Amino acid sequence: MKVAVIGGGSSYTPELVNGFLERAKSFPLTELWLVDIDPQRLEIVGGFAQRMVKAKRSPFKVFLTTDRREGVRGASYVTTQLRVGGMAARKNDEYLGKRHGLIGQETTGVGGMAKALRTIPVILSLAADMAELAPGAPLVNFTNPAGLVTEALTRARAFADDATRVTDVLELTFDQRERSRLRVRMLSGDEIGIDLPVGTVLHHGTKLLLDDGRVAAVEAAEEYAATSEPDKA
């Protein structure tokens, strides 16, 4: 059994390794892959992890890599304990709310949202790698803000599902697809309100997860297009 740890250079890794060692009989781990983008941290923490395992007569092997795809490939489980931007980014998150008189730190408030904006794209990219290289493997997330990360993964899964999940269609003009807030009627006759982040543009084929769990597909409405040419006279 292979387990990949994304953020394997974290100071939490030895505690995780100790847990695997204590459960070696009940959790048949054979390969533990520690993945990190920081080679120096990976060498220090990973080397310590390897010595921990060797001291217990090596019930499993510990591999170190900076190649995330190689680490994920064929994994039975993938865990995350990463911090995009490192401790410098955490400091900014912790002080962001304080500078503006707001409550919050790296998991809640404006600091948590700042961390989410950096972290969610990385987690979604990892999920895409898992779908390709380790299909069916559960993702065990220890990365904050855990609630927002989980919400993003849940919504991304809904968008990635097969088109047969689509339960209704929204036919929108180009002008409507550029608006962040509007009220429209779907082909079924149901009327819904759309409230999207400012600047969002909906494209033909975009899927929207509705509050009631339905999935609506956006279709570009047919529109009259005029063309003009300069007078050559």
pLDDT greater than 60 at residue 211: yes
Residues 203 and 171 in one domain: yes
Which of 15-24, 188-197, 201-210 has the largest mean confidence? Answer: 15-24
Residues 190 and 152 in one domain: no
Residues 8 and 111 in one domain: yes
Residues 50 and 77 in one domain: yes
Adjacency order of strands within the sheet including 31-35? 61-65, 31-35, 2-6, 77-80, 139-141
225 occurs within a structural domain: no
Residue 147 belongs to a domain with what CATH number?
3.40.50.720
The token pair at 105 is: 């730190």
Model confidence, pTM: 0.68
What confidence category does residue 225 fall into, taking pLDDT thresholds of 50, 70 and 90? low
Question: How far apart (Å, rounded) are the C-alpha atoms in residues 154 and 151?
Answer: 5
Residues 64 and 129 in one domain: yes
Q: If we measure between CA atoms, which residue out of 148, 105, 98, 99 comes closest to residue 123? A: 148
Cα distances from 52 to residues 4, 14, 30, 40, 63, in angstroms, run 17, 8, 15, 18, 13
pLDDT greater than 60 at residue 205: yes
Range of the domain at 150: 2-160
What is the per-residue pLDDT for 163?
46
188 neighbors 214 (Cβ within 8 angstroms): no
Residues 79 and 147 in one domain: yes
Residues 153 and 196 in one domain: no
The token pair at 100 is: 């503006």
Residues 77 and 131 in one domain: yes
pLDDT tens per residue, range 65-116? 999 999 999 999 999 999 998 889 888 888 888 888 888 787 888 888 989 9
Count of domains for the chain: 2
